[in-house]
Chains A and B, each alone.
Chain A
Amino acid sequence: MHEFSAQVGPAAFRIGSQWRSPVDQLAALYADYPKPEIPDFSVRLEAVSMLRRFIRPSVMIEGDYMLPDAAPLPLAQALLAAEMGMNLQMALGWRRHLLLHASAVEKDGKALIMTGASGSGKSTLSALLGQSGWRFMGDEFVLLDLESGAAVPFPRLISLKNEAIAAMEAQADAARFGPLMEGTPKGNIRHLMPPVDAIARMAEPAKPALLLFPRYGHNWAVRDVAPGETFMRMTQASTNYVALGEAGFTAMTRFIKTTPARAIDYQSGAEAVSLAEGLWEQLA
């Protein structure tokens, strides 16, 4: 088994692979991240069968925590499999913070948190803001401290999809991109290493100051979101809210009550960045 490990925010992962290539790719992309002594989670990339290790190799994601019915991916997409495996460990296993399926950036010690359905652009938006004066905190999960309510970064590799790939290729250092994976179940995917500063400061939390529900592909618009709707949406955007019980309830209600929320519709990344910055000036 080829082995790789890295620490992302408060969580450390080790990845075991029956093939060498995914581990080499991971090692290159996670070069800036610290190596843990003891990982929190184990993820394994395994061949569907002995034969499929060599002939049309197919990668099964396994690990400490798994969902049934996971479909295998071709070896060329093993990097995606590893990322999915790590996300799954967080979604199913993490209980140390209230976990929100959201992206976040930071300025002046305050966090702008963005959440929405797949395709809403929350990931791209956090990457764009991370290139323009904000500290990138994460594009997939935001962790809320159960005691203080602070947002704790989880700056894993940024997972760029489809049109977002070209948009970010125009902005970020070419050396920080992973291989382009075409035709994955989520379309084309290319990973981008977060800015060096984002990784160096990944232990630094920020106070939630604004929550946005971005939606890509609609005319420019800003809407108020009622706290009740925000609450429902956030509980559904959290895979551990119910498991955390009272601590989760307390953290979630505090977050909803103290963080202004807006829904924004936008047609382009530039439009979204200016919308977000405008609302930040006004509300944060």
Chain B
Amino acid sequence: MSCDAMLLVDALREPATTRALDANDWTALIAMARAEQLIGTLAERLKSESVPPKVAEILAEARINADYQRRSALWEAECAARALSDYPGKVVLMKGTAYVAADLKAGEGRHIGDLDVLVAREDLPQVEALLLSKGGWEWVKEDAYDDAYYRDHMHELPPLIHKERDRMIDVHHTILPLTARPSPDAAGMLANAQLIDSNLTVRAEPVEARNRSESRPSTSSARTETLCVLSPTDMVIHCTAHMIADGDLAGGLRNLWDFHCLTTQFAESDPDFWPQLSARAARHQLLPAVQCAARLSLRLYGTTIPQTWGRKKLADAYFVRRLTARDGWGRPTRKVTRLAFYIRSHWLRMPPLMLARHLWTKWRKG
């Protein structure tokens, strides 16, 4: 039995590697894939592989569940669109919901949790008010500290939950905490965001802020096609920011799989994709992060990346150790590595004094 999640990485990269697996390997692979929330993705990848009957049943089940998540995510987006139909600015879907709404490969079988949207920072109060009054969302928690913390330092509103549907929405105004050292150009991302029904093109043409009452498609009033997604380069940059420059790499294998699928698909449709990604990432102060993600994606998933980006860095090995820290029971392993990345994630988010204050307040509240 393999001792870490390279088993899962191999199966995703090259489905044919699963032909050599015995019953114990399969058991481990399934437990890992569930723990990393990649079981639906694995099911899509192994669709045309011949697998043991029991595995076929498990993967078919994972597809049913992925369908359910996809349906719920799109519906949630549509409900948000309806609540925000009087808001004239762009509402940009992000992460999993965006991938399925735009019908991208990264969305196939993907686990989708909360709804994430991006809006202009100055419009947050208006968007918040519409979601609360028209949409039926409410605050998850009434807590002055957390509230003030979110509003002052984070890149999103405190989370809202829908009264009836029990689903959360995160409204972002940029892609990283305001305290983080890189400052991505959120206004630029919004400007380049594209309507979902326009085919995603790398050379994003800015879409005019729509006058919703006139440009709305005649077949429906508030379907997901009135929503936007980020331009291809920005979508990849957001995926990276989320993974490398912000998080503690929890869910890292899934985020890296998103990176792999997005870059591969976009580069196939536009040979200039990588240079544009490079330029765009530099503008958002995230080029080192994007290059790091690309190297990891090459190393784990065999992504084709520009040759000049592929030079190994010493730190990459630590990222790989962290990304694959999972045993055959789906348990997290490598506690020290995990802790190091956890501290790193807080370090990246906040200046040291604020980090100390944050941890102190959290600790006091127990």
Contact with A along B326-362 (1 / 0, CB 8 A): 0001110000000000000000000000000000000
Q: Which residue of chain B is the closest to A242 with respect to CB atoms?
A: B68
A38 contacts which chain B residues (CB < 8 A)? 23, 26-27, 30, 52, 54-55
Stretch at the interface among A39-47, A78-86, A177-185, A196-204: A39-47
Interface: A1 (CB within 8 A) = yes
B23 contacts which chain A residues (CB < 8 A)? 37-38
B contacts with A, residue count (CB < 8 A): 22
Contact with A along B54-67 (1 / 0, CB 8 A): 11011011001101
A-B contacts, CB under 8 A, total: 50
B35 contacts which chain A residues (CB < 8 A)? 64
Once A14-B27, A37-B54, A64-B34 are accepted as A-B contacts, the answer to whether A42 and B329 lie under 8 Å apart by CB is: yes
Contact with A along B9-42 (1 / 0, CB 8 A): 0000000000000010011001100110000000
A95 & B61 in contact (Cβ 8 Å cutoff): yes
Q: Which residue of chain A is the closest to B29 with respect to CB atoms?
A: A38
A244 & B27 in contact (Cβ 8 Å cutoff): no
B151 contacts which chain A residues (CB < 8 A)? none
Say how far B187's CB is from chain A's closest CB, in angstroms: 37
B58 & A40 in contact (Cβ 8 Å cutoff): yes
Q: Quick one: which of B84-109 are within 8 Å of A by CB?
A: none
Interface: A96 (CB within 8 A) = yes
Q: Which residue of chain A is the closest to B61 with respect to CB atoms?
A: A95
Interface: B47 (CB within 8 A) = no
A64 & B330 in contact (Cβ 8 Å cutoff): yes
Q: Which residue of chain A is the closest to B71 with respect to CB atoms?
A: A245
A39 & B65 in contact (Cβ 8 Å cutoff): no
Say how far A16's CB is from chain B's closest CB, in angstroms: 6
Interface: A94 (CB within 8 A) = yes
Say how far B220's CB is from chain A's closest CB, in angstroms: 21
Bound CA span A64–B31, Å: 6
Bound CA span A1–B27, Å: 15
Q: Which residue of chain A is the closest to B68 with respect to CB atoms?
A: A243
Say how far A4's CB is from chain B's closest CB, in angstroms: 13
Q: Which residue of chain A is the closest to B23 with respect to CB atoms?
A: A37
B71 contacts which chain A residues (CB < 8 A)? 245
Contact with B along A6-50 (1 / 0, CB 8 A): 000000101010000000000000000000111110101000000
B64 & A95 in contact (Cβ 8 Å cutoff): yes
Q: Which residue of chain A is the closest to B28 with respect to CB atoms?
A: A42
B61 contacts which chain A residues (CB < 8 A)? 93-96
Most buried by B among A38, A44, A96: A38
Q: Quick one: which of A246-262 are within 8 Å of B by CB?
A: 247
B54 contacts which chain A residues (CB < 8 A)? 12, 36-38, 40
Say how far A38's CB is from chain B's closest CB, in angstroms: 4
CB<8 Å pairs between A and B, sample of 18: A37-B52, A37-B54, A38-B27, A38-B52, A38-B55, A42-B27, A42-B330, A62-B331, A64-B30, A64-B31, A64-B35, A95-B61, A95-B64, A95-B65, A244-B64, A244-B68, A245-B67, A247-B64
